[in-house]
Structure 1
Amino acid sequence: MNNMKKTVNTLLILALTSVTSITFAQQATDLDTLLLQLEKGQIAQSEQNKAREAEFNSRKDQQDKMLKEAENTRDQAIALSTKLEAEFQTNELDIANKTDALNKRMGQLKELFGVLQQVAGDTRSKFQTSVVSAQIPGRGEFLDQFAQSMGSTSKLASIEEIERLWFELQREMTQTGKVHQFNREVVLADGSKVTKDIIRVGGFNLISDGKYLEYIDETGSVAELIRQPSDRYLASANELSTSNNSVVPFALDPTGGSILGLLVQAPDTQERVEQGGSVGYVILAIGLVGLLIAIERFITLFLIGNKVNRQLKESVARDDNPLGRVMLVKDNNADADTETLELKLSERILKEVPVLTSRLTIIKIISVVAPLIGLLGTVTGMINTFQAITLFGTGDPKLMAGGISQALVTTVLGLVVAIPMVFISTLLNTRSRGIINVLQQQSAGIIAERAEKGA
């Protein structure tokens, strides 16, 4: 390595000498001048070399000084690292000893703090669905902080925090047994916000203006239910809203909203009819026609029956009722023999029977056809259900709900129409048959009276 450095230095000197010689050779005009210039060049070169050596030596001393400073810094860092490592090991042992001592001193308190953390979490979940939070907001923030702090091993619950948790539990139980009225903003079903008086029934329900409300924990708001339960529940809510510190019956939800949510999802009568589809509307239309006919027949037979009963009490025949017209046959055929009179009376009764039994057959047909149309809707709904199963499988029941609803609703509608029609048809037939029997009895009496006179 040293030989290589010497060789490089020699080559550099030779190169510098050659360059200097060439430069002087270009400027010199004779040998003496050339010799003189060469001598001057050697002197100048020696001076430059000395300056370079002096500069190199001065920098070498500076570098040695910097090296010593770096070595001192390194030694100091090593010493500090050794010291810190020793302190770290000492602290680790100290922490382990103190942790062990803390665990021994805490004993069963550690289990207590675990129970407190669990209770705080459960209480927070309860407050999320409790309607009491609509009146007393901000209770969940403390419970969240308390549960998080209890999850840390570096912090234990203080007496104040434990008492606050106790207070929140006690307040929830106390408010659950009270009916309280307060004022706050309510989000209506149309999205508008109005400040209203709200009645809180324990920890079960919120009502305002006879309507049920719900508490939304995510937004901390109170909203009116888009769909309200049936009228009998709304009647109790309205009665409570208008009561003046009196005891009134009220339909409360002990689950805090779960049962109420199911009630509002239940379809009403109109929605059930709509589930029947076109077949259901056909059944209702037929039932309406039968009902109109039945009303007309009831009114007609009732009026005819009253006139017949009045005619039974009178001896003078009137032509405004079937019995009077039958009696007029006797008066108009006073000279006829018994057989002729009998035939005339039978003819008159046969003319009155169609009026008394008119359109009763239609009611009877409706009572028979309505269940058959309901059965048609049932078959159609089941076909739709099986088509849905074929296309989408049985994984999602909602896809089959439409067909099943139609199948069940049309059957129900058919029975709802048919059963009353059967009773109505029987009553009307009985009524008309009763009037016809009166006509036949009176006709038989007239014939018997004429036969006695002829004898």
Structure 2
Amino acid sequence: MQRNTLQSLVRPIVIALAVMVPAAAMAAASLDELLEQTRTARAREAQQNQARIQQFQQERNRRAEMLAQARAELAQQNARANALSAQFDANEKKLTELQAALDAKLGNLGEMFGVVRQVAGDFASVAYNSMISAQYPDREAFARKLSESKSLASIEDLERFWFEMQREMTETGRVVKFNAKVVSPDGKEEVKPVVRIGGFTASSEDGFLTYLPGQKEFAVLSRQPASRYVKPNVELLEETSGYHTATVDPTRGTLLSVLVQTPKLSEQIKYGGLVGYIIMALGVIGLIMAAVRFAALSAIAAKVEAQRKDPTNAREDNPLGRVLAVYYKDPNTDPDTLQLRLDEAVLKEIPALEKWLPALKLIAAVGPLMGLLGTVTGMILTFQQITLFGTGDPKIMADGISQALVTTVQGLIVAIPMVLIHAFLSGRSKNIVQILDEEAAGIIAEHAEKQHGRAA
């Protein structure tokens, strides 16, 4: 290798001398001078070549040193790699042993972690649907995060999870007033005082509320139940302590939704249709007539009682006074004629005393018949709906069935009171007629006794 290197260095020198000699020979004046020039050039070239050889040798030595250093470093790195590989194998073995020991120790904790995730998922669903979350809105997100965690829960998370479950149980048994967002039926959102009875029922000054889980706020029911259910809960807003009456839905809104759908009195009357309105009109007319007759008979009875206390002063403003006036007009007539005149006077008073009573009796009889008419028309409507749409949806038949039942009830509601009212007013009228008969009989007896005394 060294020989090849020297050859590669000498070859350019020889070529340079071959070029330079002809040039020097052309410039030299004699052979001696040419020889001297050649010797001088050769010496100079030899010095240059020797300098170059030394430079090349130094470069070769330097590169040899670098090669030796690289080989030494390579050997050192190979040794280090072998050592690191051995250490890696040892660490892998140790890591495997430690992992096995960790898995053995985490056996029970892993099972507990699974239970915690499952229970946290269940509690997240409970917290999402519970109206208590409107007061504590961050607990559902915490439980959801814990249920989706891929690592063991910390002691702090487990303690908070226990606290949130305990708070859910505690708040279920409390009545709390707090401020919350309430959406009115027209869509307006306001922060209002809300009374929460456990996790079952919530109400504000507008009435019962329904909980909106996604927004963590409440909405006023567009249709409220009867006031007897709403009023106690609204009044509860003003209370601070003690025991109070309130309406609670233990089904968390199911019963309340059914109660809200219960038709009101006006809606029930509407179900009766035209026949129902006619029945109710007859009932109203009957009540008006009954009220007028009751007031009239009460006034007549009072005047008759006053007349009985003063029989000698016959007044024309009451039936008894008019009967007595018949006697006082001709007190000397014979008893038979007097009896006929008094009977006639009593008979004249009876129509006025029994005024409108036949009409009340007629309304009491017509009411059930009208109810039966509504029942028949309602059933006809029901069968028509069944013919058109079948029996798949019971709501289709609801209108006809409602009309049938409501009109029946309306007819009975009108008839039963009318029967009782007619019996009551008829009794009062008969009492007055009986008083007239008794007074007339008394007058006849007194008159006969007077006539007998005169004859004796």
> What TM-score do the two structures reach when normalised by structure 2?
0.74
What are the superposed Cα offsets for residues 206-240 of structure 1, whole Å, 9 maximum, x if unpaired? 22226222210123221111111211112211321
What are the superposed Cα offsets for residues 86-128 of structure 1, whole Å, 9 maximum, x if unpaired? xxxxxxxx99999988775544544433433332232222223
Helix, strand or coil: the match of 1:215?
Answer: strand
Give the Cα–Cα distance (whole angstroms) in 2 for the partners of residues 95 and 273 of structure 1. Answer: 83
Q: Amino acid of the residue matched to residue 319 of structure 2?
A: P
Corresponding residue for residue 310 of structure 1: 306
1:375 aligns with 2:372: yes
Give the Cα–Cα distance (whole angstroms) in 1 for the partners of residues 211 and 333 of structure 2. Answer: 91
8 Å CA contact retained: 2:304, 2:318: yes
Correspondent of 1:171 among 167, 172, 179: 167
Give the Cα–Cα distance (whole angstroms) in 1 for the partners of residues 95 and 408 of structure 2. Answer: 79
Give the Cα–Cα distance (whole angstroms) in 2 for the partners of residues 383 and 427 of structure 1. Answer: 38
What are the superposed Cα offsets for residues 110-165 of structure 1, whole Å, 9 maximum, x if unpaired? 4433433332232222223322111111322222222233xxxx534443333232
Give the Cα–Cα distance (whole angstroms) in 2 for the partners of residues 195 and 312 of structure 1. Answer: 73
Which has the larger displacement, 168-177 or 120-129? 120-129
Corresponding residue for residue 38 of structure 1: none
1:437 aligns with 2:438: no
Corresponding residue for residue 36 of structure 1: none
Give the Cα–Cα distance (whole angstroms) in 2 for the partners of residues 260 and 128 of structure 1. Answer: 20
Corresponding residue for residue 9 of structure 1: none
1:427 aligns with 2:445: no
Helix, strand or coil: the match of 2:193?
Answer: strand
Change (3 A) 1:308 1:108: same
Equivalences for 1:11-410 in 2 at 5 Å?
A: 105-149=105-149, 155-209=151-205, 211-315=207-311, 316-410=313-407
Helix, strand or coil: the match of 2:421?
Answer: helix
Corresponding residue for residue 17 of structure 1: none
Helix, strand or coil: the match of 2:148?
Answer: helix
Give the Cα–Cα distance (whole angstroms) in 2 for the partners of residues 453 and 422 of structure 1. Answer: 46
Q: Amino acid of the residue matched to residue 147 of structure 1?
A: S
Give the Cα–Cα distance (whole angstroms) in 1 for the partners of residues 135 and 165 of structure 2. Answer: 16
Give the Cα–Cα distance (whole angstroms) in 2 for the partners of residues 278 and 159 of structure 1. Answer: 72
Give, in angstroms, the shift of residue 287 of structure 1: 0.2
Over the aligned positions, Cα root-mean-square deviation in angstroms equals: 2.4
Corresponding residue for residue 65 of structure 2: none
Corresponding residue for residue 20 of structure 1: none
Which has the larger displacement, 244-253 or 306-315? 244-253
Correspondent of 1:416 among 410, 413, 417: 413
Give the Cα–Cα distance (whole angstroms) in 1 for the partners of residues 188 and 125 of structure 2. Answer: 29
Give the Cα–Cα distance (whole angstroms) in 2 for the partners of residues 376 and 104 of structure 1. Answer: 84
8 Å CA contact retained: 1:186, 1:194: yes
Q: Amino acid of the residue matched to residue 418 of structure 2?
A: M
Q: Amino acid of the residue matched to residue 173 of structure 1?
A: M
Helix, strand or coil: the match of 1:253?
Answer: coil
Give the Cα–Cα distance (whole angstroms) in 2 for the partners of residues 141 and 394 of structure 1. Answer: 47
8 Å CA contact retained: 2:180, 2:217: no
Give the Cα–Cα distance (whole angstroms) in 2 for the partners of residues 406 and 115 of structure 1. Answer: 57
Corresponding residue for residue 22 of structure 1: none
What are the superposed Cα offsets for residues 397-448 of structure 1, whole Å, 9 maximum, x if unpaired? 1111111111111111111111111110000000000000111111111112
Q: Amino acid of the residue matched to residue 347 of structure 2?
A: L
8 Å CA contact retained: 1:239, 1:248: no
Correspondent of 2:451 among 446, 450, 454: 454
Change (3 A) 1:438 1:103: farther
Change (3 A) 1:141 1:339: same
Corresponding residue for residue 61 of structure 2: none
Q: Amino acid of the residue matched to residue 223 of structure 2?
A: R
Q: Amino acid of the residue matched to residue 426 of structure 2?
A: N
Q: Amino acid of the residue matched to residue 323 of structure 2?
A: V
Change (3 A) 1:273 1:111: farther
Structure 1 gap segments, 5+ residues each? 1-93
Give, in angstroms, the shift of residue 178 of structure 1: 2.4
What are the superposed Cα offsets for residues 321-359 of structure 1, whole Å, 9 maximum, x if unpaired? 000100000001212211111111111111100000011
Give the Cα–Cα distance (whole angstroms) in 1 for the partners of residues 116 and 439 of structure 2. Answer: 95
8 Å CA contact retained: 2:177, 2:237: no
Helix, strand or coil: the match of 1:301?
Answer: helix
Which has the larger displacement, 271-280 or 139-148? 139-148
Helix, strand or coil: the match of 1:137?
Answer: coil
Give the Cα–Cα distance (whole angstroms) in 1 for the partners of residues 336 and 98 of structure 2. Answer: 131
Q: Amino acid of the residue matched to residue 345 of structure 2?
A: R
Give the Cα–Cα distance (whole angstroms) in 1 for the partners of residues 231 and 365 of structure 2. Answer: 39
Q: Amino acid of the residue matched to residue 448 of structure 2?
A: A
Give, in angstroms, the shift of residue 186 of structure 1: 1.4
8 Å CA contact retained: 1:198, 1:208: yes
Change (3 A) 1:297 1:171: same
Q: Amino acid of the residue matched to residue 324 of structure 1?
A: G
State the aligned residue count.
Answer: 359
Give, in angstroms, the shift of residue 264 of structure 1: 1.2
Change (3 A) 1:111 1:283: farther
Give the Cα–Cα distance (whole angstroms) in 1 for the partners of residues 103 and 339 of structure 2. Answer: 119
Corresponding residue for residue 56 of structure 1: none
> What TM-score do the two structures reach when normalised by structure 1?
0.74
The structure having more radius of gyration, on CA atoms, is: 2
